[in-house]
Amino acid sequence: MSAMAAPSPTAAHSADDGAARRLGLGVLVDMPWSGQGGGGRGIGFVDTDDGGGGDIHPRLRTFLQRHGGDFGYAAHSFQPRSRALPRPADYVRAYDRFGQALPAGLPRAFHHTELNMGTPERYDRGPAAEFANELHARYQFTWVVEDLGIWSLRGCPLPYPLPPLLTGPGLEIATRNAAEAARLLTPPLHVEFPGFTEGGSFVLGGLDAFAYFARLAEDADVWVTLDVGHLLSYQWLRGRTGPYMFDGIDGLPLHRCRELHLSGCQIVGGKFRDLHHGVLLDEQIDLTAHLLTRCPNLVGVTYEDPVFRADGRLVEKSRRNYDRLRALVAEWRSEESP
C-alpha cells in the first residue's frame, strides 16, 4: 500500500468513509458509575432505584442542555458498572438517557476501554467487540475509538493505560491486535495515539513512537485518532518543546486521521501533564491548527472531559481556549467543499 493511500474499504467498512462529511466540534465525556445522587465533578452515570437501569448525573444533563448546541457529535467512554462481564442489558437504559439529553439526531461515537490493543499478552477481544457491536446496533455509532495502550495485565485493569512496547516484537503484536479489533468490530475503529505523560505512565523500548504508530496504521490498515495532548506529551518527553513541538508531526499517519482529541493539560515543572481538567493549553490550540491543514480525511475535533459548574457553564479557566477551539473548528468546517 502506498504511504499516502487511504485505508481500504475493509478497514473503513465503507468505501465512502474516507470522504465523510465534516461533523465539526464534538464532545467526549468520561462516564464513571457512582451511587444514587452521584458525586465528584458531577459527571458520569448514577445508579437509580428503577430496576437498576441508571441515569446520567443531573449536572451533566444541565451541561448538555446549555452547551449541546455547540457540538456536531457526542461520545462517552466505557466504564464498567461492576466486575461482571459487560452485558448491554445492564447499560442501555443509562446510555439511552445520555442520548435523550443530547440534541435530537446528534451522531454518537463510543470510546472503548477494553480492546487492550497494546498488550503483549494473549487477550480475547471477542467479548469486548461483541459488546460494542450490540450497542452499535442500537445507537449506530459513527466510530469506536480506543487508545493504543496496555489497559490491563493478567485481567487486572491499570490506573492509566501504558503505551505499547516500543520494540520490533511489540510493534508486530500491537499491529496484529489492532487489525483483529478492526476486523471484529462492525463500526469503524479509530486507533488512538497513546499518551506518554511523565509520572502517569512509563515507556519500554526505544523506537520512535510517531514512526511506530505510522507503521502500525499502515500494516493494520486502520483509521486513527490523534490526541493532541498525547502528541505533545511525547514531544515533551523527547525534549521537543516550544518551537520544536512540530518536529516529526508529518511522520504521523495524517492521511488516516479521522479525529482529533483535546483534553485539559498542564505543564508542571517542565513536565507535560494530561490532567483532563478541562483547561486547554495554547500549545494544543496551535498544534490543532497545524493538524487541521494536514489531515485530509478528518471528520471531527473532540473536546474531551469538559469541567463545568452546577449551572452547566464551563469553569472560567477553560472558556478562553474552548472559545478559540470552537472558532478554529467552525472555520475548518466551513471550508469543506459543498
Q: What is the SS3 string spanning the chain?
A: CCCCCCCCHHHHCCCCHHHCCCCEEEEEECCCEECCCCCCCCCCEECCCCCCCCEECHHHHHHHHHHHHHCCEEEEECCCCCCCCCCHHHCHHHHHHHHHCCCCCCCEEEECCCCCCCCCCCCCCHHHHHHHHHHHHHHCCCCEEEECCEEEECCEEEEEEECCCECHHHHHHHHHHHHHHHHHCCCCEEEECCCCCECCECCCECCCHHHHHHHHHHHHCCEEEEEHHHHHHHHHHCCCCHHHHHCCHHHCCHHHEEEEEEECCEEECCEEECCCCCCCCHHHHHHHHHHHCCCCCCCEEEEECCCECCCCCECHHHHHHHHHHHHHHHHHHHCCCC
Reported confidence tier of residue 36, pLDDT bands at 50, 70, 90: very low
Question: Average pLDDT, stretch 107-125?
Answer: 97
61: cell is 444533563
Confidence at 8, pLDDT banded by 50, 70, 90: low
- How confident is residue 35, by pLDDT bands cut at 50, 70 and 90? low
Mean pLDDT of the chain: 91
Give the pLDDT of residue 5.
Answer: 53
pLDDT computed for residue 293 by the predictor = 97
Q: What is the mean pLDDT of residues 195-210?
A: 87
Asked whether residue 14 carries a pLDDT value surpassing 60, the answer given is no
Structure confidence at residue 4 (pLDDT): 46
pLDDT of 49: 72
pTM (two decimals) = 0.93
pLDDT value of residue 41: 61
> Does CATH number 3.20.20.150 belong to domain 20-334?
yes
pLDDT for res 40? 53
Segment 273-309, tens digit of pLDDT: 999 999 999 999 999 999 999 999 999 999 999 999 9
**pLDDT category, 47, cuts 50, 70, 90?**
confident
Provide the pLDDT for residue 12: 46
